[in-house]
Structure 1
Amino acid sequence: MTADRNTSRASATPPRGFPPQEFEQRLAAAQAQMRAQRLDALLLSTEPEVRYFSGFHSQFWESPTRPWFLIVPLEGKPVAVIPEIGLSGMAATWLDDIRTWPAPRPEDDGISLLAETITALSRRYGRLGVPMGHETFLRLPLQDFQKLSTRLAALEIIDCAPLIRQLRFIKSPAEIARIHHICDLASAAFENLPQRMHSGQSEREICQDFRMDLLRRGADNSPYLISGSGPDGYDNIIMGPSDRIIEQGDVLIIDTGTTFDGYFCDFDRNFAFGKVSDLTRRAYDTVYRATDAGFAAARPGATLRDIWVAMWNILEAGGALGNDVGRMGHGLGMQLTEGPSVTDRDDTPLRPGAVLTLEPGMTYAPGKQMVHEENIIITENGARLLSRRASPELPIIS
C-alpha cells in the first residue's frame, strides 16, 4: 500500500448527532440536483433517507406498524409527515414543519395528509421524485402507494434513486469521522480476539464474546456479525454463527457490520487454529495482495471497475477458481452496504469523500473460499485506510 495508508487510531470519540449546518449542506446539494433534474419534490419513506435529511435517529423503525414520510421540496426545508408518536422526537431535529396523524390507522394511514401536503407545494415542473430503483424500497403498503399515486395523478412520479445514491456516496468530514471511529473500535476488538478464543469453543460462543467486547469499547450495536468455519477453510460467508465447535486445523472467518451513531463499519478477519495447509496460506496471501492492488487503484478519477480489475488480476494469478459473491466491495455509511458495487461492470468514478469496502474473495479449492475486507476513504491523494490493516500472514491460534 502507498504512503497514504493509515494504521493510526481515530481521534477522540465524535459527538453524536450533527449541527444544522450539516443538514443545510445536504439539502442544498439535493435541491441543486432537483433543479437539474426538474423535480418539484422528493418523497422519502425509509429510515436512512429520512435520517439523512432530518437527523431523526430512532430505533422505533424496527416496528413495521407505522409508515413515516419526509418531503424534500425544491425550495425551503424538508417537511415531516409522521405518526403522532414521533412528534417530540422529530421536533428535536432541525425541522420545524412536522405534520402528524394518529397512527396506526389502516383505513388512511397518513395518505390523505401526505397527499394534501405534496399537493400544496409550489409546482414548477410537475414531477415528484420517489426512490424506485436498485437497492431501494417503499416503506408503506403497496395499496397505500396506489392510493397516493391516484391522489397525485397530476404529478409525474420519477425515480430519484440515482440522485439519492450520488448524494450519499460522498461523505462529509463529520460522517467520515463516525465511520473511522467505529472502524477503529472494531479493529481493536479484532486485534484482541486471538487472546480470547481457542479451539473447543463454538462459533456462536466466540462471536457472542466478540460482540460484547465491541459494546464495551463503545459501539452502539452489531446488527451484522457472521462467521464461517471448516477444516482448512470455509465454504460460506453469509450464514452463522453456528454451534459448530472449532477444532484444530480449522479456519474461521468473522465479518462484522457494527455501528456508532448510525454509521457502519464492515470488514472481516480470518484465523487459523493449529496447522493449516500451504494452499490455504497461499489463498490468504493472495486475497491480502489483491486488497493492496485494489487500494492502489482506488484514487480520484478511477472507476469501481478499475478496482475490480486490479484485484481480480491478482486473484486469477493466485489460482482463483472463481468468485461467486457477485462483487468485490461496495459503498458504506448509514447502511451496511450502499451503492455502488465494485464489479467489472460499474464505471462510477471515484471522488474524494467516497467510502468503500475492498472485499476480494476467491474459491481456491472445491468448497473452499477465502475472503478479505477492509474499509477505505478516497482522498485527493488516493485511498486511506479506515480499518486497521489485517495481519499480512494468516493468524494462527495455537
Structure 2
Amino acid sequence: MALHFDRHEYAMRLSRLTEKMRDEKLDAMLLFAQESMYWLTGYDTMGFCFFQTLVVKASGEMALLTRSPDLRQARHTSTIENIIVWVDRLKADPTVDLKNLLSDMDLLGARIGIEYDTHGMTGRTARLVDDQLTSFAQLIDASTLVGQLRLIKSPAEIEFVERAAELADDALDAAMPYLKEGGDEADILAAMQGAVLASGGDYAANAFVIGSGPDALLCRYKSGRRTLSANDQLTLEWAGVSAHYHAAMMRTVVIGEPSPRHHELYSACVDNIRAIEDVLVPGATFGDVFDTHARMMDERGLTRHRLNACGYSLGARFAPSWMEQQMFHAGNPQVIAPGMSLFVHMIIADSDTGTAMTLGQTYLTTEERPRCLSRHPLDFINR
C-alpha cells in the first residue's frame, strides 16, 4: 500500500472530521472533492472526473462508491476498506447505487452533508443526487467543512509543503539560462517542469503560467509559444509539488532594458508584499490581508490595474486548480492561524502602457511573523 503518511496521521484526520460532523449534527458526509478523499484516506486518483463519492459516517465508518478502474487505485493508495463499484452501462445512474449503499449503512432519514462546491461534482451529478436523495434524507451543503480542517497543516504535511517549495526554487533556477533574448518559451517550460519531475515531484494541479510580450499581462495558461525578443517581458507562475502539496511562486522577468513603468510597478509589488508580511500573523483575517493590498495599490493609482484578490491558501490539490477554497479578498473573515501555507501574489496588468509586473511566493504562518518558504529573494529580475 502506497501511503504518504502513517496510519496514525490518517486516524487523527478522521477523528477531527467526525468530531466536526457531530458538532454540525451531521450523521454522514458525502465527499466529492478529490482533495478531501486524499487528505482523509490517501486515495490518489484522477477518477473524480466520473461519478464517485466517499461516504463517511459520524461513527467513522467509510465506504467508497467508484468505477472499476479505480478499485485497485483505492486499494493501493488509501486506507479505505469498503469499496463498491458501480457499473458503466447505457443510461447508468450511479446515484441509485449510492442510495442503496446509504440504505445499507442505515442512513435513511439521516442528516447528510454533501460537498457540492467541487470539480468532482458536476451540475448533472448534483441534480441526480438531489433527485435521488431528497426524499431519502435531509441534505445539507457542507462544501467547506473538510476544507476548513485542511487549512492548518500538520507537521507531517508541512514537510511536504517545504519540499514543494524547494522544487519551486529549483524550477526557477532551471529556467534562468533560457531567460534571455532568443530564449524559447517551450524550453523555459520544459526546464521548469523537468526540474520538478526529475527531483521526484508531481505535475501541478494546473498548468504553469507563461506569457511574454503582450501575453505577460495574462495570468492564465494559454496555448502557443513565443521566442523572447531583445527587449521583452515574461510572466511566470508555477509551483513545486510534492505528494500533491503545492508551493507556488510568481515573477515577471524583464529582458533587456526595463522601462520606468516596470520599475514603478515592481516597487509597488515588493512594498506591498513586505507590508502584507506584517499582517500575515495569527489573529488577522484574510480580509485584512486584501485590505492592505488594495489600500497600497490604490494609493499609487493602480486601482484599475490590480486584481480583486491577492492570494490564497495552498495544500494538496488536484486538477484543475492548485488553489484551496480560502482566498485573500474583501471581507473574508477567515482568521489566520499558525500552520497555514499561504500564497501571496501581486499581479499588476497595465493595459494602457502594455506593462506587466508580478511577484509572489508561499509562506508558512507561525506564532509570530510568517516564514517565506523560498530561498529566492524578491529582487527585480532583469536579464
Give the TM-score normalised by the residue count of structure 2. 0.89
Pairing partner for 1:341 from 312, 327, 339: 327
| CA-CA distance at 1:122 after TM superposition | 4.4
CA separation in 2, counterparts of 1:291 and 1:72?
41
Question: 2:5 maps to what in 1?
Answer: 18
Task: Give CA-to-partner distance per residue, 1:256-309, whole Å, 9 cap, x none.
Answer: 134221222222122111111122112112201211111221011100111112
107-116 vs 285-294, greater mean Cα deviation: 107-116
Distance 1:100 1:247, change over 3 A: same
The answer (yes or no) to whether the contact 2:305–2:350 under 8 Å persists in 1 is: no
AA at the equivalent of 1:126: A
Question: 1:358 maps to what in 2?
Answer: 344
| CA-CA distance at 1:16 after TM superposition | 6.1
| CA-CA distance at 1:75 after TM superposition | 0.2
- Give 3-state SS (helix, strand or coil) of 1:283's partner: helix
Task: Give CA-to-partner distance per residue, 1:41-60, whole Å, 9 cap, x none.
Answer: 00012321222222111345
141-150 vs 30-39, greater mean Cα deviation: 141-150
Question: 1:243 maps to what in 2?
Answer: 225
1:1-398 alignment to 2 at 5 Å? 17-61=4-48, 64=49, 66-92=50-76, 93-101=78-86, 103-122=87-106, 126-133=110-117, 136-139=118-121, 142=124, 145-146=127-128, 149-151=131-133, 153-222=135-204, 223-230=206-213, 234-240=216-222, 242-335=224-317, 336-364=322-350, 366=352, 367-392=354-379, 394-397=380-383
CA separation in 2, counterparts of 1:276 and 1:162?
44
| CA-CA distance at 1:71 after TM superposition | 0.4
RMSD of aligned residue pairs (Cα, Å): 2.5
- Runs of 4 or more consecutive aligned structure 1 residues displaced over 4 Å after TM superposition: 122-125
| CA-CA distance at 1:20 after TM superposition | 1.3
- Give 3-state SS (helix, strand or coil) of 2:194's partner: helix
Task: Give CA-to-partner distance per residue, 1:144-189, whole Å, 9 cap, x none.
Answer: 8426643551311100012122112122122221121111111122
The answer (yes or no) to whether the contact 2:208–2:238 under 8 Å persists in 1 is: yes
- Give 3-state SS (helix, strand or coil) of 1:81's partner: strand
CA separation in 2, counterparts of 1:68 and 1:43?
10
Task: Give the number of equivalent residue pairs.
Answer: 375
309-318 vs 151-160, greater mean Cα deviation: 309-318
Q: Which runs of 5+ in 1 are unaligned?
A: 1-14
206-215 vs 49-58, greater mean Cα deviation: 206-215
The answer (yes or no) to whether the contact 1:130–1:158 under 8 Å persists in 2 is: yes
CA separation in 2, counterparts of 1:195 and 1:363?
26
The answer (yes or no) to whether the contact 2:207–2:221 under 8 Å persists in 1 is: no
The answer (yes or no) to whether the contact 2:168–2:239 under 8 Å persists in 1 is: no
| CA-CA distance at 1:190 after TM superposition | 0.7
The answer (yes or no) to whether the contact 2:95–2:132 under 8 Å persists in 1 is: no
The answer (yes or no) to whether the contact 1:115–1:148 under 8 Å persists in 2 is: no
Q: Percent identity?
A: 21
Distance 1:227 1:204, change over 3 A: same
Q: Which runs of 5+ in 2 are unaligned?
A: none
Give the TM-score normalised by the residue count of structure 1. 0.86
AA at the equivalent of 1:26: R
Distance 1:143 1:196, change over 3 A: closer
206-215 vs 147-156, greater mean Cα deviation: 147-156
- Give 3-state SS (helix, strand or coil) of 1:218's partner: coil
